[in-house]
Structure 1
Amino acid sequence: MDAQTWRAGCCCLLLLALAGATRSEGVQSCEEVRKLFQWRLVGAVKGLPDSPRAGPDLQVCIPKKPTCCTRKMEERYQIAARHDMQQVLQTSSSTLKFLISRNAAAFQEALETLIRQAENYTSILFCNTYRNMALEAAASVQELFTDVGLYLFGADINPEEFINRFFDSLFPLVYNHLINPGMTDSSLEYSECIRTARRDVSPFGNIPKRVMGQMGRSLLPSRTFLQALNLGIEVINTTDHLHVSKECSRALLRMQYCPLCQGLTLSKPCMGYCLNVVRGCLAHTVELNPHWHAYIRSLEELSDAMHGTYDVEHVLLNFHVLVNDAVMQAHLNGQKLSEQVNKICGRLIRTPTQSPRCSFDGSKEKHGMKISARNDEETLANRRKEFINSLRLYRTFYGGLADELCVNELAAADGLPCWNGEDIVKSLISPSLYHPASCRPLLSALFDSTLLRTPYTLP
């Protein structure tokens, strides 16, 4: 006999032994039942029977033979059954919840880093190229990117307003330091007039509108994406807390704890029986499945659309380029702008002053305007793609939740004796299948996932 034939024979003998289990015999003592009850529900409980009794007061675990359970035990077991289902649900969804929450945190952290980097590029632009106005511009740059972050993370503010505010504050600096260099007006009212005149004289051409368009199209999808991830976590948290009806509670009690009353401490429910009970208890979650599927599809479409002018990474990291273009355009049209401002704000006596210069470390200045090449593996787009690919595996999560709980947690494996709600029943595998020649395909079938998920009919 070769090793392969010997292994097949052993497998068949094992299955024969499992299939040969007979219906349970009446328990003679309640000692094991008492110990299990006290262990499961923590601590000793008075009034537990020493030997089996008729149990006329039981409402769910109504026995055909003497039982070791009392009405009080049944009530406690019913609470335990609900708690167990709650725990199994939370365990089942924990991987999905971790996937979404981990990525929500990672995306938020990546966006925070991106905002700091974009702010740094813009500050370096002023320090490298427009040193005279760098310190005065720092507050406006910081305020702009603070507002960008607030908007991305859900604050009720308008991007158009904070972008306009940035360019409004930029114009007096450009006017004083580039159009009229070395001269600074001491009047705050005059600077305010220049700031207000910005929208009338359009010193920066169409660049503010371009920035509004690019930021509007890129910030909103990223904001929506983050909000959608947090919504997904809320959905899972809500469905984790199962609202158990009276019928479901009694069914769970009968399935999980009633066999203990007969001393069947190692029994598990039959697959078909488990599926019927758990599907009934989770009927409301099955209704979520099409909505959950649509939710994942929406995230896919949103992620796919976030490229080009919708790619927040590209837009923010190139913001300083548009700022530079805006300043240069105002500088080139300086004479015309000066005449327009004089008409609007008038001519005031001006005194020369030495503007504070940006103090920036030489090594940083040398490399300040060089944007390092991004690692393709670390871009937000690739992170989103990787996340969406992982999330697709959970498209039918709520539709198959009952099946998953029974297959992976609650029910007995195919071929093993199991609890059918009244007693232990024999294996559902036909004795004719135990012929040695049939063992190999039988074993393959036993561990095939599609078979395990198929409910069967009790004999």
Structure 2
Amino acid sequence: MIRNVIPVLGSRIFEVMYQRYTYVRYHVSVIPICGGNCCDPQTEERIKQQARSDFHYQIHHHSRSHQGLLAITADALRDSMTSLARQSENKTLNLFNQVYRSMAVQSRPSIKALYQAMIDYVAPSNTPVNLEQPLTRSMLKERFSEFFTKLFPIAYHHAVNPHQQDFSPKFKSCLYEIVDRIKPFGDIPDQISASMAKSLEATRVLIQALDLGKTVLDKTDTVLFSGSRLHQEACNDALMKMTYCPKCKGITEEVEPCHSLCTNVMRGCLTQPASEMDPAWSGYVYIVERLVAAVDGPTNVLELNTERAMRQLDTHISDAIMHAMEDGPALEEKVRTACGRAELNSAVTTTNSDDSSAATLTVVDASTLPSPFTPRTPPNQLHVQLGNFLASVERSRTFYGNLADTICEEYPDKHCWNGERIGEYTKTVVDSSLGAQKYNPEFKLTAIGTADTSAYSNPNISELIDQLRHITQVVQSHLTYPSSAIGLLADEAADGSGSGWRPEMEDDDDGRNGGGIHNRHDDEDDDGNYSGSGMGSTTIDPVVKGNENIDGNLATGISSRSFLTLLLLFCTIYVPLAA
């Protein structure tokens, strides 16, 4: 227990005090803090500083578990995003190796660069607690644009001249220039870019917010005790009286402060600074809860689920290529108008012609082709960690408001040090409100509780409050419902349904239960007819119906394009054989 953790310095002070006790009780005047014959003023000052150090340690101890929760969650998010990106990268590379073999080698550098940009987006260098951002959202979207720009000449050659030499550098340069104008991949690149950038930005902001919260808590023990000199001195005196005066009075047995004495002292020391931090901190915790629920919830109404977007990225890239192939003749006409006839390299390419001519699209098992739906998978480690976070973080919301009481909760009520002797504490225990502190019997009226709270001037607290409010506003900006979701929310509100979803709860056999709880992947193959019995926690966004349209236009046509891929395989391989 924290109250039993006494630094070595404190023990040494006790020894000196006890050795001097017999002498100083006859030769030193009464020390007002402990109210009796005590040690000399120099020793008393050392004791006072030790009491202050113990107080700092107690605050740090009680904030440590909250810091750990924030740090572990931030690391889990960052590691999970890196792992998901690498998995998606491998799926995309395999897609090109198996389905678009003639494009695989040339596309590989662009694919790897795109995924590295996504990993860098949530890296520590791009999520500093000072809220700076070297790699911005617009820059990330530009990386997607560059990827599809570089992919176009490769895909166009694959579509119109699959068995011939590569295009000349001059012709490729022209193709690069006209990509934005002719839109060979349709709107799919813009949709992919917007979806990935939005979800990755939400994840990046969440990591940044978690790291900032940890930093704020780490500074708590110093910042909460750096106010006006008058307040600090009063708190130091009260802490010394509570902790070390028994030794001053020659009491050698181990005795703890009374719970009520501790409560008055801690409320007197902490109420004013904690009351300043509490609103900003509780608002921060609430908004972070909402963002975690939006990023990892069973529905994706805010389109912030990076895992879902990442798992479908290879499929959507394939859709873009198939779109260009579907529009082959019209696309070729647009290119001729803008760039003239295709110019080929004069030199023989190093590409194995047998590989190119034998099968531009090789026959593969249907299970390896892009699937229109992500298969149902059990909750991964990140989902579990975020569920644990939501289950635990609510207790952190009142950290500052309850800190004084938390420190004192294990102290006894009987046979304890009441500030004067061993016994019960009989003085009034004041309320935890700021106004009540003027009646605190352990503090002088001039020290705290005056009407003019400006006397407690703490620029360090003001700085932390500003940081918390700023990140709260940033997070809030990501929790605005898109117009497409407003109707869904209104429908659910009208029929009174709701999920009450909590990530730590288990699904029924069919993935649902009476509260509308379902696995986060169930929405990808369910019919969307969820039922609910209540609104659930106010910090969790409700599960909405109609989530089969979560990915909007990105999901449109996936099934038909997968069928078209199979058809192309058949035509490419078997029709020439039949001829």
Match of 2:135 in 1: 156
Instruction: Give the alignment partner of residue 415 of structure 2, picking from 414, 417, 426.
Output: 417
Match of 2:339 in 1: 345
Question: Is the CA contact (8 Å cut-off) linking 1:271 and 1:407 kept in structure 2?
Answer: yes
Question: Is the CA contact (8 Å cut-off) linking 2:261 and 2:425 kept in structure 1?
Answer: no
Mapped partners of 1:113, 1:60: distance in 2:
63
Mapped partners of 1:89, 1:365: distance in 2:
61
SS in 1 for 2:219: helix
Deviation at 1:325, TM superposition (A): 1.0
Q: How does 1:383-398 map to 2 (within 5 A)?
A: 383-398=385-400
Change beyond 3 A, Cα 1:406–1:41: same
Mapped partners of 2:34, 2:278: distance in 1:
36
Instruction: Give the alignment partner of residue 231 of structure 1, picking from 196, 202, 212.
Output: 212
Change beyond 3 A, Cα 1:353–1:156: closer
Q: Does residue 1:279 correspond to 2:281, yes or no?
A: no
Comparing 285-294 with 323-332, greater Cα deviation is found at 285-294
Q: How does 1:116-195 map to 2 (within 5 A)?
A: 116-153=86-123, 154=126, 155-157=134-136, 158=138, 159-185=140-166, 187-195=168-176
Question: Is the CA contact (8 Å cut-off) linking 1:172 and 1:194 kept in structure 2?
Answer: yes
Q: How does 1:83-122 map to 2 (within 5 A)?
A: 83-122=53-92
Mapped partners of 1:71, 1:151: distance in 2:
58
Mapped partners of 2:422, 2:34: distance in 1:
15
Report the count of equivalent residues.
389
Match of 2:308 in 1: 314
Deviation at 1:161, TM superposition (A): 0.9
SS in 1 for 2:409: helix
Mapped partners of 1:369, 1:76: distance in 2:
74
Match of 1:268 in 2: 256
SS in 2 for 1:51: helix
Comparing 214-223 with 49-58, greater Cα deviation is found at 49-58
Deviation at 1:109, TM superposition (A): 1.0
Deviation at 1:425, TM superposition (A): 3.0
TM-score, length-scaled by structure 1: 0.76
Q: How does 1:317-332 map to 2 (within 5 A)?
A: 317-332=311-326
Task: For residues 397-449 of structure 1, give each alpha carbon's deviation from its aligned partner in whole angstroms, at most 9, with x where no partner exists.
Answer: 211111010113xx3x12x2222323333476xxxxxxxxxxxxxxxxxxxxx
Instruction: Give the alignment partner of residue 247 of structure 1, picking from 234, 252, 258.
Output: 234
Mapped partners of 1:367, 1:207: distance in 2:
23
Deviation at 1:178, TM superposition (A): 2.4
Question: Is the CA contact (8 Å cut-off) linking 1:144 and 1:166 kept in structure 2?
Answer: yes
Mapped partners of 1:365, 1:240: distance in 2:
61
Instruction: Give the alignment partner of residue 305 of structure 1, picking from 283, 287, 294.
Output: 294
Mapped partners of 2:219, 2:408: distance in 1:
21
User: Is there any run of 5+ residues in structure 2 with no aligned partner, and where?
Assistant: 1-6, 127-133, 227-231, 357-361, 427-436, 442-579
SS in 1 for 2:379: helix
Question: Is the CA contact (8 Å cut-off) linking 2:202 and 2:304 kept in structure 1?
Answer: yes
Structure with larger Rg: 1
Task: For residues 278-316 of structure 1, give each alpha carbon's deviation from its aligned partner in whole angstroms, at most 9, with x where no partner exists.
Answer: 112222123322222222221222233334332111111
Comparing 182-191 with 135-144, greater Cα deviation is found at 182-191
Mapped partners of 1:179, 1:260: distance in 2:
92
Question: Is the CA contact (8 Å cut-off) linking 2:9 and 2:50 kept in structure 1?
Answer: no
Mapped partners of 1:37, 1:380: distance in 2:
42
TM-score, length-scaled by structure 2: 0.61
Deviation at 1:367, TM superposition (A): 7.0
SS in 2 for 1:398: helix
Letter of the aligned partner of 1:327 in structure 2? I
SS in 2 for 1:376: coil
Comparing 262-271 with 104-113, greater Cα deviation is found at 262-271
Deviation at 1:369, TM superposition (A): 4.6
Match of 2:11 in 1: 40
Q: What is the root-mean-square deviation of aligned Cα atoms in Å?
A: 3.4
Change beyond 3 A, Cα 1:406–1:341: same
Letter of the aligned partner of 1:234 in structure 2? T
Deviation at 1:272, TM superposition (A): 2.1
Task: For residues 343-401 of structure 1, give each alpha carbon's deviation from its aligned partner in whole angstroms, at most 9, with x where no partner exists.
Answer: 3223354246453679xxx9x99975588845332174554233111111222121111
Q: Does residue 1:63 correspond to 2:35, yes or no?
A: yes
Question: Is the CA contact (8 Å cut-off) linking 1:417 and 1:425 kept in structure 2?
Answer: yes
Deviation at 1:80, TM superposition (A): 0.9
Q: Does residue 1:259 correspond to 2:246, yes or no?
A: yes
Change beyond 3 A, Cα 1:95–1:59: same
Mapped partners of 1:111, 1:345: distance in 2:
41
Letter of the aligned partner of 2:246 in structure 1? P
User: Is there any run of 5+ residues in structure 1 with no aligned partner, and where?
Assistant: 1-35, 429-454
Question: Is the CA contact (8 Å cut-off) linking 1:48 and 1:70 kept in structure 2?
Answer: no
Q: Does residue 1:333 correspond to 2:341, yes or no?
A: no
SS in 2 for 1:288: helix
Match of 1:291 in 2: 280
Question: Is the CA contact (8 Å cut-off) linking 1:313 and 1:380 kept in structure 2?
Answer: no
Larger RCO of the pair (alpha carbons < 8 Å, separation 6+):
1
Mapped partners of 1:194, 1:269: distance in 2:
80
Comparing 161-170 with 389-398, greater Cα deviation is found at 389-398
Mapped partners of 2:242, 2:425: distance in 1:
18
Task: For residues 28-53 of structure 1, give each alpha carbon's deviation from its aligned partner in whole angstroms, at most 9, with x where no partner exists.
Answer: xxxxxxxx997724898699526142
